[in-house]
């Protein structure tokens, strides 16, 4: 892993792009799990309690690391580790969000606005002090529209933004050993698209008969696809369905709204200093530079 010039985030993006393709992993790309890492890092935010969010990279420590909702994200963290080790000037919190944004773009998705300046909690105690009680803040796939609005309302998102963000399920898959659920949402899960919305609208989703948790299934082009109860809630709920219909019909609109909403998501809870480069500024101060 190359050491790049301090502050050269474009070069860090290049390093991320180099490791995206992993033939032995899932569908051949770690892109989807990187996106999920950025989302789970940010999705703990509470506008009510003013804590959680993308600052800190708390998933390296105790409670957040062990949160069952984050099962499997150690894969993403482990793949990114060599980039951080070769470039210790970038914070984990910046790297995790930047990797998510870069993965989205590399998989054919929109450019998501991203700005540096997240700080890392240095120790487990610091993480606990800053974060308080932030477990159980991520959505539960077995629930319905009320739950989704509770969870995303706490972060400050509207129905439109909730539906746009949910379109990230055009990427990746569920793993029985992580969430208990099983399978991808779309036929090509390493390509960012509006397929998820199209499939929600067009397929006859049936409850899957199996030993695992309740989920829906449909077979498309010979591939078994899935939907979570929370995915189906987006079409069952009248207000959210309007946005599913719009995004199924208009890919550009989805890309635009997704980029805005994901950009907002990864800004949640960021404590940035005036320069926008908190860590670099701190380091410069330590070295006695102006």
Phi, psi of 239 (to 5 degrees): -75, -40
Residue 254 CB, shortest distance to ligand DDH, in Å, is 12
Residue with smaller CB distance to ligand DDH, 145 or 280: 145
Shorter beta-carbon distance to ligand DDH: residue 116 or 168: 168
Closest separation in Å from C-beta 277 to ligand DDH: 25
Say which of 39, 96, 114, 185 is annotated catalytic: 185
Q: How far apart are CA 254 and CA 193, in angstroms?
A: 9
Select from 54, 91, 97, 166 the one that contacts ligand DDH (CB under 6 A): 166
- Would you say 131 or 149 has its CB closer to ligand DDH? 149
Give SS3 for 219: strand
By CB under 6 A, tell whether 175 contacts ligand DDH.
yes
Closest CA to 94 of 64, 75, 117: 117
Between CA 33 and CA 241 the distance in angstroms is: 27
Least Å distance, CB 32 to ligand DDH, is 4
Binding characters for ligand DDH, 74-113, by CB under 6 A (x = yes): ----------------------------------------
Burial class (CB in 10 A: 0-12, 13-18, 19+), 30: buried
Which residues from 211-240 bind ligand DDH, rule CB under 6 A?
A: 228, 230
Does residue 190 bind ligand DDH (CB under 6 A)?
Answer: no
By CB under 6 A, is residue 208 in contact with ligand DDH? Answer: no
Query: Considering the rule CB under 6 A, would residue 178 count as an interface residue with ligand DDH?
Result: yes
Cβ contact 215:222 at 8 Å: no
Contact by Cβ (8 Å): 217, 251: no
Minimum CB distance to ligand DDH, residue 216 (Å): 13
Stretch that binds ligand DDH, among 9-17, 57-65, 177-185, 195-203 (CB under 6 A): 177-185
- Beta carbons within 10 angstroms of residue 211's beta carbon: 5
Q: Which residues contact 106 (CB under 8 A, 6 or more apart)?
A: 16, 17, 20, 31
Neighbours of 101 (CB within 10 A): 25
Regarding 39 and contact with ligand DDH (CB under 6 A), the answer is yes
Residues between 138 and 157 with contacts to ligand DDH, criterion CB under 6 A: 139, 141, 148
Residue nearest to ligand DDH (CB): 172
d(CA 3, CA 85): 9
Is-catalytic flag, 40? yes
54-89 burial, b if ≥16 CB within 10 A, otherwise e? bbbbbbbbeebeebebbeebebbbebbeebbeebeb
Can you give the binding site for ligand DDH, defined by CB under 6 A?
Answer: 32-33, 35-36, 39, 72, 139, 141, 148, 165-166, 168-169, 171-175, 178-179, 181, 228, 230, 262
The residues that are catalytic are 40, 185
């Amino acid at each position: 892993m190359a050491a790049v010039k301090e502050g050269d985030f474009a070069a860090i993006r290049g390093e991320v792009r180099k490791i995206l393709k992993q033939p032995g992993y899932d569908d051949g790309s770690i892109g989807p799990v990187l996106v999920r890492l950025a989302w789970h890092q940010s999705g703990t935010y509470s506008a009510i309690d003013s804590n959680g969010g993308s600052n800190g990279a708390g998933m390296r420590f105790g409670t957040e690391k062990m949160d069952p909702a984050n099962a499997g994200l150690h894969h993403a963290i482990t793949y990114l580790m060599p980039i951080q080790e070769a470039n210790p000037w970038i914070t984990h919190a910046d790297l995790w969000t930047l990797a998510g944004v870069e993965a989205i773009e590399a998989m054919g998705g929109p450019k998501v606005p991203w700005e540096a300046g997240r700080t890392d909690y240095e120790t487990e105690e610091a993480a606990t002090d800053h974060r308080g009680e932030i477990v159980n803040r991520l959505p539960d796939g077995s629930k319905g529209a009320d739950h989704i609005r509770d969870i995303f309302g706490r972060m400050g998102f509207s129905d439109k933004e909730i539906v746009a963000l949910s379109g990230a399920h055009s990427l990746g898959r569920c793993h029985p050993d992580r969430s208990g659920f099983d399978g991808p949402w779309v036929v090509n899960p390493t390509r960012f698209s509006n397929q998820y919305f199209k499939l929600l609208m067009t397929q006859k989703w049936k409850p899957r008969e199996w030993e695992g948790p309740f989920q829906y299934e449909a077979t498309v082009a010979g591939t078994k696809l899935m939907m979570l109860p929370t995915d189906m809630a987006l079409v069952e709920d009248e207000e959210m369905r309007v946005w599913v219909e719009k995004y199924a019909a208009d890919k550009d609109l989805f890309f635009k709204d997704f980029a805005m909403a994901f950009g907002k998501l990864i800004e949640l809870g960021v404590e940035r200093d005036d320069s926008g480069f908190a860590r670099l500024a701190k380091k410069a101060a330590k070295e006695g530079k102006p």
